[in-house]
Structure 1
């Protein structure tokens, strides 16, 4: 009996589908795209990296399938709607957001991870000029 739960086996991702906007010299422009834009061209460095990258997504899928089997279709639909609305709440593109409401809905506010310790806003590399960041998010730049 499978109970409709998703598979726990890790499936390799296709790295060929990634499109990177390239500048005039064949590399992304770091002033527009940011320093982290070149990471998309890199492959996986460890076999567990793909599994750890999708851990929260796989856990959420299993929890939603289990909730659907126990309480019915309305419960996962209500939770996913609340999470969707919580993830849309934000600030202007150049201001960092803590996403506390979304973390509370997903239960990630209890976990201490890599991003909580080493991803502080004062060491962030993607802060730029506010006007340029807003124009890029609107598709003007």
Structure 2
């Protein structure tokens, strides 16, 4: 799992966040599948300079996801209505997906920067 990131989500819900569920054949930064593939391809091509960005991404997503889940676990313990519990779980999943999208975009920016520096002209004459 050198370039992937794991994000925990509540299961047994009716709706999955769009960032995770709306994958199409069109490459886009608007969904997790394609964002992950772009990060992996760029990080692999610039491994020595990008590996620490990937490690920080993995650690950040794990920590922030568990922070969100812990907050919602407390709310869920106090709630007895099943429909409200399900809505809270879906809300937590949306928050995790939003955080994941921001973290992935930040990581993509960093590995793209590292890979760009390895280009033959290294952007030294990119506008010439």
Q: Give the structure-2-normalised TM-score.
A: 0.34
The structure with the greater share of residues assigned to helix is 2
Structure of higher RCO (CA pairs closer than 8 Å, 6+ residues apart): 2
Q: Give the structure-1-normalised TM-score.
A: 0.31
Give the greater-gyration-radius structure (CA): 1
